[in-house]
Amino acid sequence: MKVAIMGYGVVGSGVAEVIGKNAEVIAKKTGILPELSHILDIRDFPGDPFASFLTKEFADILEDDETGIVVETMGGLEPAFTFVSACLERGKHVVTSNKELVAKKGDVLLALAEKHNVNFLFEASVGGGIPIIRPLIRCLAGNRIQEIAGILNGTTNFILTKMIMEDMDFADALALAQKKGYAEKDPTADVAGIDACRKICILASLAFGTHIYPDGVPTKGITDVTLDDVKAAAAAGYVIKLIASAKQLENGRLALRVSPTLVKKESMLAGVNGVFNACLVRGDAVGDVLLYGQGAGKLATASAVVGDVIDCAAHDSARIRFGWSKAEDGVLEAPGAVPTVLFARLKNADKAAVAAALPGASCLDGENGETLVITAQAPAGALEEALAEFHPVTVLPVAAY
């Protein structure tokens, strides 16, 4: 079965490279020899080793009956959604690395794939090269998933690591992440937490079986994190990581959030540095599972795409089911009602007043007369209101893992 690629950027060119250099190894292991048919891109790539496959016409892929699998690595919602829909309707399997497409249209595209008896696979859309979607839907299928928490954006983890360990400033670290091909075309999606939000929505939709749209998820990126925050967190025994989380509460509703978060120094997530991602999955039978690997980058992400391509070829006439249905109202808990622990940096605070306003909170002395507060667990809205009286410099959630 022949494979076409739509979008010859960082990931698309990585897919061509991996297929080009590993085809024989793949064939030996799986009995499937992936063969390229076309590469769609509006740009010219003179002298490129795959130049003979390049086309600017989508119809060359759509109309080619020998092309049974289409890889979408264009990114963005359009024209990706239109092209992917057309391929599924033509009975072609589709593999994508496009987080935005899956997070916003996953339910629609899976329904379309089902209607046309083909597969729509998206392992590369979360965690780059880390196998996370397949383990979640297959290996952990016997569990009720209770919680998922992850470092799901390689660019921001790379930036935070460079800032903390090498004292590099934010702009230089971002420029380096862009040069290495980790960042999105518009890196605002990385630093503002939007990319991590799309990814946790995909995982939560799979884990809890109902489409969760990114718009409903409170999302904060890393742009406001200062070195003083990092030092204050360290003084309290924590590191700051951009954590994307999804949890089923006791009342059955879901709490999703993306935020710079204090993670205990001893936590496995605290040691995840650079472009690496990690995702903690808590199941009622298995307990905690941690999946770890390179979360972004050309070949790491291509590895996940090629795995899906092989799965499509192996399941040409069978469908891989996800149990991901349409969005339902009332699934998400109101953010202010979610039980939370908060960390705050307060200037010149009266500790007795803090203790009175926030029962159960612990206070310790920070630098320059600051008081560092870790609250007891309570609804986030009530804690934020109580802390507001003290005009905090910074307020961040504290993770329980």
Residue 88 Cβ, how far from ligand HSE at the closest point, in Å? 22
Tell me the H-state helices in 209-257.
Answer: 227-235
- 21 flagged as catalytic: no
What is each CA distance from 36 to 15, 145, 387, 394, in whole angstroms? Answer: 10, 38, 58, 51
The partner residues of 94 in beta bridges, in order of sequence, read: 70, 120
Nearest distance from C-beta of residue 183 to ligand HSE, angstroms = 5
State in angstroms the smallest separation of the CB of 313 from ligand HSE: 24
- Residue number, 222 or 309, with CB nearest to ligand HSE: 222
List residues binding ligand HSE (CB under 6 A).
99, 128, 153-155, 182-184, 190, 195, 295-296
Q: Which of 92, 99, 104, 199 is catalytic?
A: 199
The residue of the chain with the least Cβ separation from ligand HSE equals 155
Give 10's contacts (C-beta < 8 A, 6+ positions apart).
181, 297, 298, 301
Tell me the C-alpha distance between 303 and 379, whole Å. Answer: 41
- Report the residue number, 158 or 390, with the smaller CB distance to ligand HSE: 158
Cα gap 53→49, rounded to integer Å:
9
Q: Which residue, 193 or 295, is less far from ligand HSE as judged by CB?
A: 295
Give 113 or 177: the residue with its C-beta nearer to ligand HSE. 177
Q: If you write DSSP's letter for every residue of 27-90 in order, what string do you get?
A: HHHHS---EEEEEE-SS--TT-TTGGGEES-HHHHHT-TTEEEEEE---SSTTHHHHHHHHHHT
Least gap, CB of 157 to ligand HSE (angstroms): 8
Catalytic residues: 199
